[in-house]
């Protein structure tokens, strides 16, 4: 099968620690894939390894057929990979508009995507002149996702989008992510299994730095034993 993102047996070290010890992630084009696992399993490191922020020492990361290993993070991003980090990583001292404009890869990106972004997140239009630091947690998360939409990204890596958000905001966020899936392929790291299971079509479970199971989400939802074993949820 032809995958948009094909991660094979990557090994990543942070300092002297061997964090990823063989992770495989195969992401079909146009899908939403969830990376699941307990805290500290290596999900975020997997995303960072794909992006080149913590480059893997071994293995292969191919995006649309191109090898990403060895490329700098800014070169990886320039290929059309957007990243929405956890903790609503926006720029607090920049205004909402500046946060969006800074993501332009080509001049005019923001102007072209403005209408789509504001249709997904109408609140942002109202808050356009405020500094990022003045936004609420939910608004910051929306801004972080909106920022990844400004350039023409073919792949979006979203880390813990529901973390610390109120249930009503999570609903809104999920609707937005579903809408995003019509524009780009999505890889999602999500601690909240309920959210992940409602959004993703495929999944990969990472346990102690290794990918231990992968498949269709509809199968996992019915596999209570696996959920309990690896995710601690029932």
Partner 1 sequence: MTANLSPSLWRRWRGLLITLAAALLLPFVVGLLEGQPPTAVLANSAGVSKFVQGLAIEVFIFALYALSYDLIFGITGLLSFGHAMFFAVGAYLTGALIKSFGLPLWQTLIWVTFASVLQALLFSVVLPRVKGITFALVTLGMASVFHLMIMSRELGEFTGADVGLQGMIKPDFLNPATERLRLYYVALALLVTMYYLFKRFVDSPTGRVCVAIRENEGRALMLGYNTFRFKLAALLLSSFAAALAGALYAIYQPIISPHIASLGFTVTALLIILIGGVGTLQGALVGALVYRLLDFGLRRYMGESASFVNGLIYVLIVIFLPYGIVGTWRMKSLQLRQGWAKIGDAIPWKPNDGAAR
User: Distance (Å, rounded) from C-alpha 85 to C-alpha 101?
Assistant: 18
For partner 1, the closer CB: 128 or 169: 128
For partner 1, the closer CB: 14 or 78: 78
CB of 203 to partner 1, least distance (A): 24
Contact call for residues 77 and 53 (beta carbons, < 8 A): no
Rounded to the nearest 10°, the torsion over CA 146, 149, 154, 155 is -20
For partner 1, the closer CB: 110 or 203: 110
CB of 6 to partner 1, least distance (A): 21
User: Distance (Å, rounded) from C-alpha 75 to C-alpha 29?
Assistant: 21
Name the one residue in this structure whose structure tokens are 């292969």. Answer: 60
CB of 91 to partner 1, least distance (A): 5
Cβ burial 143-155 (10 Å sphere, 16+ → b, else e): bbbbbbbbbebbb
For partner 1, the closer CB: 142 or 205: 142
Judged by the rule CB under 8 A, the positions of this chain that interact with partner 1 are 51, 53, 72-74, 77-78, 83, 85, 89, 91-94, 98, 101-103, 105, 126-130, 147, 151
For partner 1, the closer CB: 10 or 77: 77
**Pair type for strands 17-28 and 3-14:** antiparallel
CB of 34 to partner 1, least distance (A): 20
> Alpha carbon 143 to chain centroid distance?
14
CB of 114 to partner 1, least distance (A): 15
């Amino acid at each position: 099968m032809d995958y948009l993102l094909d991660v094979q047996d990557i090994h990543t070290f942070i300092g002297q620690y061997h964090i990823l010890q063989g992770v495989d992630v195969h992401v079909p084009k146009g899908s939403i894939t969830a990376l699941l696992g307990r805290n500290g399993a290596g999900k975020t490191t997997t995303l960072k390894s794909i992006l080149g922020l913590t480059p893997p020492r071994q293995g292969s990361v191919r995006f649309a057929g191109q090898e990403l290993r060895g490329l700098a993070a800014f070169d990886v991003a320039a290929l059309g990979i957007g990243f929405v980090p956890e903790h609503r990583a926006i720029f607090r001292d920049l205004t909402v508009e500046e946060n969006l404009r800074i993501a332009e890869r080509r001049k005019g990106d923001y102007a072209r995507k403005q209408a789509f972004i504001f249709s997904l997140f109408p609140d942002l239009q109202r808050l356009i002149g405020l500094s990022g630091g003045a936004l609420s947690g939910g608004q910051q998360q929306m801004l972080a996702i909106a920022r990844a939409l400004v350039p023409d990204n073919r792949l979006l890596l979203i880390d813990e989008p529901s973390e610390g958000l109120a249930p009503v905001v999570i609903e809104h966020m999920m609707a937005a992510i579903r809408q995003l899936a019509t524009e780009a392929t999505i890889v999602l790291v999500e601690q909240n299994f309920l959210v992940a299971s409602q959004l993703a079509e495929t999944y990969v479970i990472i346990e102690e730095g290794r990918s231990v199971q992968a498949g269709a989400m509809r199968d996992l939802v019915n596999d209570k034993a696996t959920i309990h074993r690896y995710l601690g949820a029932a």
